[in-house]
Every structure is written in structure tokens, then in C-alpha cells.
Structure 1
Amino acid sequence: MTDVSAVTATTTVTAVSALSLAAWLWLLLARGFFWRTDVRLPPEAEPDTWPSVCVVVPARDEAAVLPASLPSLLAQEYPGRAEVFLIDDGSTDGTGKLACELARRQEGLSLTVASPGEPPAGWTGKLWAVRHGIDLARTRGPEYLLLTDADIAHAPDSLRRLVSAARAGGFDAVSQMARLRVASMWERLVVPAFVYFFAQLYPFRWIGRDPAARTGPRTAAAAGGCVLLRTDAAERARIPDAIRHAVIDDVALARAVKGGGGRIWLGLADRVDSVRPYPRLRDLWRMVSRSAYAQLRHNPLVLAGTVVGLALVYLVPPVAAVVGAATGSTATTLLGGAAWLVMAGTYMPMLRYYRQPLWLAPLLPFTAFLYLLMTVDSAVQHYRGRGAAWKGRTYARPDAVPDEG
């Protein structure tokens, strides 16, 4: 009986290992080549005349990072008319005052600092600030709006390159995923994987497809730290009113724009960087868990499926390789090892992009396990009524982002 049980267990592990390898081969070849990191801003073709741009920066308690980010916006080398609106969202650390002081020291684009007051019911604080900033910007009649976070530093040519790419490609929204800070041990372990998982969920190559196309996925996503948006596209999509409740506002924005017939583009940034540090695991944990369950539309069945999927794809390969070696099952060892090898191989381009050692690639299953725990914790916090908590505000029951359609 014991031998029969052992054979059954080995057969089951081998079958699950084969399923995991099949999943990785599908991800490798049929998921928009998500693992490649060559989706960057389209080739530049500078316009004959430069459109006007208003930059909107929502900021809440950002005094620690503002000196490293705001001057980079004010110093933009943009040939057309541009100005910056920083919307102080109820800060208690002197963010607005510091912004004014930085502007006095920095020659360049003009800065307007304003505050919208507390958000009304049904609005997240960030989107309420964005709404106030867009309302102020519209009095200037800009053709484009650059929505960027207060922790994002831009190279001097960033705005010019964004506008050139939008004009040349005919895009209504151009978004770059800022290069996040990678300095501490936990940042090295978690941050590149965060971007890798995001690209796996929203393959960049699929996002740039024309919404009028009748074939292929209609994937939509953006990176909220850097979104250049045509003003008329924002009006058609009713941004931000239509997404006022969204915790994952960047994805919701992209879906609203694409749903309205607009063309969007998303890729990795070369000269746009986040200066916000996440030195400890609990800092990264909070960043992920505050919105992970919202990404799953607060659906317990989707959560269960996600947990099973993460386990099958990321945890089974190393476990199978070890169990197969321990039990002498060559098939299990080879299947688990092959899946683990494909996984590590697809992760290497992201590690190179973040200038990290490639020996971190085989550790991706451990990082995926951390993300699994963060996602479960996000659901637990939601059902405890805490929801998405960020900088002193808690959104107990935030609505999920709309379906992709």
C-alpha cells in the first residue's frame, strides 16, 4: 500500500510539473513576449510646431522627495509653452511651501501651487487632486496634459521626447514606467519582479495596438507616474471623473481612454526615475498590498484562482526539481528544472534593465511567494474594512477598475 501511495504521489507531482512547464512555454511564446525589455519610446520625429503642455503633479506629504523631483520638471528643455501645477492634497509636512521655495531657486517653467481641500465621498485623494489640477490647466488651453507623481524625476528632455513620440505615433496617451529605485537588499529582490509581474499581466506590445483592430487582445494599462495625455482625449473619456473611485487609477485611466477609441502606448523608461525609497520589506509590502486585491476586483474566486496560479507557475518548478532529485524521479526533476530554467531565463532581461546581478533570477520563486502573501494580506485587510490605506487615508470599499471589454 505504501509503495502504491508513493507511486501515486510521484505521478501526481510529475503531472503537475508537466503542467507548470507547459504554462511557462505558453508564457514564453504567447504572452506578447512580455519578458522582453525593448519596448521604449517610439523613434522621435520632432513636430514643426510644439503644442502647449500643462504638467499636473498631485502631492500629499512629499517634502522628503520633492527636492529630487520637482526641480527636474521645472528644468524641462521644452521648445513650446509649458507650465507646472502642483496640487497639494492636504499635506501636513509643508509640501506646498517647499514647492514654492524650490521654484524660487530654480529657473525654468512657471509653477502654480494650489490645494483642492478634502476629497468628497466617492473620490480617492489623488484623483481629486488631479481633477483640480486639470481644471486649473484647462484655463490655459493646453493640447496635452502630463500627469506625473511627486516622486518622479525627469531628464531635461523628457517632456520633449514624450510629446514627439505622441505626435509621431498618433497616440492619445503615452506612458512610461519610471525606473524604480533599487538600492537596498529588499528593493533588489522585489522591485524588478514587481515590474516583471506587471508586464506579464499587461504585455506592453499588446497595449500599443490600435483599438479599432478586430484581432488580438485589447489590453490597456498605463504607469501613473508618467502619463502624457491629449486634453481632448481626457475630455472624451471624462478623466478623471469617470475613474474617481479607482484605487489603481493608471490602469483605469488607460482603459477609459482606449474604451473611448483613443490610442495608448506604454513602455519602460530610460530617463524617468522614481526617487522614492522602499528600503524595508514592510515598505514594499505596503506598496503592493494596498491595491493588490483591488486588482482582483475584490472577488474571492479570482483571489483563489490567483493563488493557485501563482503556486502552479512559480512555486511548483523548484519544489518539483527538489522533490524529484530527492525521490530519484528523473522525469519530475527534468520537468521541474526545465520550468524553473525558463522562468529564470525570462526574468534575466528585467534584471539587466535594473542593472542587477543575474544570480537573482533563480530566486524569483521566493519573490513570487512574497507577492502571493502580499495579495492574500490585501484581501484580509479589505474584509477587515481597512481597504487601501495610503498616507493617512483609508478607502474601505474602493470599486474595482472596469473590465477591459
Structure 2
Amino acid sequence: MSTLAWFALGSLAVWAWLLLGQGFFWRTDQRLPPVPRGGPDRWPRVVVVVPARDEAGVLPLSLPSLLAQDYPGVAEVILVDDGSTDGTGKLAVGLAGRYGGLPLTVVSPGEPEAGWTGKLWALRHGMALARAREPEFLLLTDADIAHEPDSLRLLVAAATANGLDLVSQMARLRVASFWERLVVPAFVYFFAQLYPFRWINRRRPLATAAAGGCVLLRTETAVAAGVPEVIRQAVIDDVSLARAVRRAGGRIWLGLAERVDSVRPYPGLGELWRMVARSAYAQLRHSPLLLAGTVAGLAVVYLVPPVALVAGVAGGDVAAWAGGVAWAVMAGTYGPMLRYYRQPLWLAPLLPFTAFLYLLMTVDSAVRHHRGRGAAWKGRTYARPEATSER
């Protein structure tokens, strides 16, 4: 057999494992766990903490949905204006005056101290203010996340009924433009492949992660875990948060959202590219060795099957059927995520092209890091933790 045929057979073997042995990551049925009818006997106090930096463009779509929460217990919202230059804080006050609903407090902590990322610095300030209200739960949610009126009620009911310390939902990201349709569902698909939700949600978990856009966190667990101080340098703060909670003995649940949506637009490839490149190399712990392994892995798993099919058919090689079957399994596992995002299934065979884009984004993330532009976001650039701690 040709070298290409061996690579194609290797890719097929990997896809057989991913299909059956990686926690059924491709299924999309991990939604909020069941709760008793009517909810808990006593609805605990909740404080919602929203870090916001230059979010005037999305706040009118997201903040009113938080203020309008139909929650039977006591709840309030703290929006932390993280050095915005677009009037985010003033806009938030105006929206609260216009829409009413839950009480809103807007505060600003000033520029982050050395060793803190901006979002976690804002969360530190907001969580400290929240704890003064003695809530049983904190809802940490991004400024671009819109919640259906029953979202908070369902989150709290799921946490109390199932004894969970952290309940996180991966918000349904916006999918409207061509590039969003091509890239966004794959982003969630790749995340679930890396952190299978079933493995996270087991009584004896095999993986640990959270989705930072929507995290309901038990306050006493946050204190026991030392959050957010213990993760103050984290660029990928949601996974770091989940690991800190797990180390403190907390129970975690992660799934796909039905009542929580991101309203942030990514109309062009450039915006999506920057979103992925911002943290891709940090995910690889800034390791050139892990980068090389990731690039090689993406090439073998996602790029070899279509190349083998085309080249094998042209040359009459066994690579054709191995590549074709691997490509079919790949597309089949991607189908459920496309359905979740209400996208046509003809996008599934394009996954190798999308994976190639992610490969390039990951390499670009490493290049940016070594050029000193690292994890750049809204005017701030973060060095890797080792470098930050030496300042």
C-alpha cells in the first residue's frame, strides 16, 4: 500500500475511536438536568455579575434580558464596567431606568493590577461586592449573553435539585453570516471533542471544563476554591475556573443551552479569526511541541480523508475507500451540531476546510504570541502566566 493509504487507514482508526470512545462528544443531548416540578422549596438569593468592557454595541440586546428574569427568589445584577471608553456603564444605567426589573448596580474597578487579566479583575471586584449581599449563588455571565426570562430560575433549580456547585451552559452563538455558519458550529464541535460533556457530567468525571458565558456558581464553593484569585492570570478563564472548583471538591455540570444565546456578531472571517487566535496557543500552554502535535493531528484526522479519497480514486489506491469512510464518519458526527444550530447538513462535508482554517488560526496564535501580541483583546495583551508573574 502507498504511504497515503497508511495515513488514511490511521485517520479512519482515529475516527472509529472518536465515534465510540470519546464520550459520544458528537451528541447534543446534554441539556440542563431534570428538576422537580415547581422547583426548590426555598429559592436562594442570587447575584448576577456581568464583566463588561466596551460593550455598548451588544448591551441593549443582553442586559434587558437579565433585568427581566422571572426569578421567584431575591436576585440583583452587578455590572462591572472594565475601563470602557464607549459609555458602557452609562448605557447600562439608562437601560435599567428604561426597562426596570431586577435591581442594577454599575461599578468600575479601575485598571487591572499586575498579574490579572481584565475579565478576572472585573469579576474579582464584582464577586467581592456580591458576597457582601450573602448570596447562595453567583451567576457569572458575559455582557454579550442574552437570557430567556426563565433562564436563571432553571439554572438554580438544576443546581439545587442535583447538588451541583457549578452549572454552566454553552450559549448558542450567533449564526447569521456565511463565515459564522462555516466556523461557529465547528467551534463548539471541537470544544466538545476536547471536553466531552458526558465525561464532565459523570459522578466520577473524566474531564473538566465550563463555558464562561454562563456559569452559575455556588458562593461557598467559590470561596473554598479561592476563585477568582487562584486563576487571576488565566486567559482561558472558564476551563481554569472549572478546574479550581473541581480541586475544591465541587460538582460540575456542562451542557448546551436552549435558553441562553450570544448576541455578539462575527460577520466576517477576520472577527472569527481573532476570537480563535486570541486563546488557541494559550490552550496549548504556549508549547511549541504541543503546537506541532496539534498541527499534525489536525492534518491527519481532518485533512487526510478528503485528500486520500481524491488521490486514491485517481490512482486506484486503497486510500480511496479508507479516506471516504473516514470523511463520511467525520461528516456524520458533525451533523447533530449543525442541527442544533439549525444549519443545513450540506455543510457537514465542509468540515475539513473549516478544520484547515482552525489549523491556520492556531499557528497564527503562536506567531502572535512570539511577536509579543499574544492574547490580545480590546486593547489589552496578556503574556503567558510565567512572564506575568515575574514582573
Q: 2:331 aligns with which of 313, 331, 344?
A: 344
Q: Shift in Å at residue 208 of structure 1?
A: 1.1
SS of 1:394's equivalent in the other structure is strand
- Matched to 1:264, the amino acid is I
Aligned twin of 2:117? 124
TM-score (norm 2): 0.97
1:332 aligns with 2:319: yes
1:78-227 equivalence runs, <5 A: 78-210=71-203, 213=204, 217=206, 219-227=207-215
Aligned twin of 1:381? 368
1:53 aligns with 2:41: no
Aligned twin of 1:297? 285
Flag as ranges the 4+ runs of structure 1 deviating above 4 A: none
The alignment-based identity, stated in percent, is 76
TM-score (norm 1): 0.94
SS of 1:85's equivalent in the other structure is strand
SS of 1:112's equivalent in the other structure is strand
Aligned twin of 2:356? 369
CA contact (8 A) 2:137 2:216 kept: yes
CA contact (8 A) 2:167 2:215 kept: yes
In structure 2, how many angstroms separate the alpha carbons of the residues matched to 1:259 and 1:139? Answer: 25
1:392 aligns with 2:385: no
Please give the per-residue CA displacement for 1:112-140, whole angstroms capped at 9, x wherever unaligned. 00000000000000000000000100110
Q: 2:34 aligns with which of 28, 40, 43?
A: 43
- Matched to 2:242, the amino acid is A
1:5-24 equivalence runs, <5 A: 11-24=2-15
Aligned twin of 1:403? none
Q: Shift in Å at residue 399 of structure 1?
A: 5.5
In structure 2, how many angstroms separate the alpha carbons of the residues matched to 1:141 and 1:396? Answer: 35
SS of 2:233's equivalent in the other structure is coil
Please give the per-residue CA displacement for 1:51-95, whole angstroms capped at 9, x wherever unaligned. 000000000000000000000000000000000000000000000
SS of 1:41's equivalent in the other structure is coil
CA contact (8 A) 1:151 1:275 kept: yes
CA contact (8 A) 1:297 1:399 kept: no
Q: Which runs of 5 or more structure 1 residues have no equivalent in the other structure?
A: 1-9, 401-405
Aligned residues: 385
Aligned twin of 1:239? 227
Q: 1:285 aligns with which of 245, 267, 273?
A: 273
- 1:324–1:305 distance in 2 versus 1, CA, 3 Å: same
CA contact (8 A) 1:153 1:273 kept: yes
SS of 1:270's equivalent in the other structure is strand
In structure 2, how many angstroms separate the alpha carbons of the residues matched to 1:195 and 1:238? Answer: 28
- Matched to 1:20, the amino acid is S
CA contact (8 A) 1:83 1:109 kept: yes
Q: Which runs of 5 or more structure 2 residues have no equivalent in the other structure?
A: none
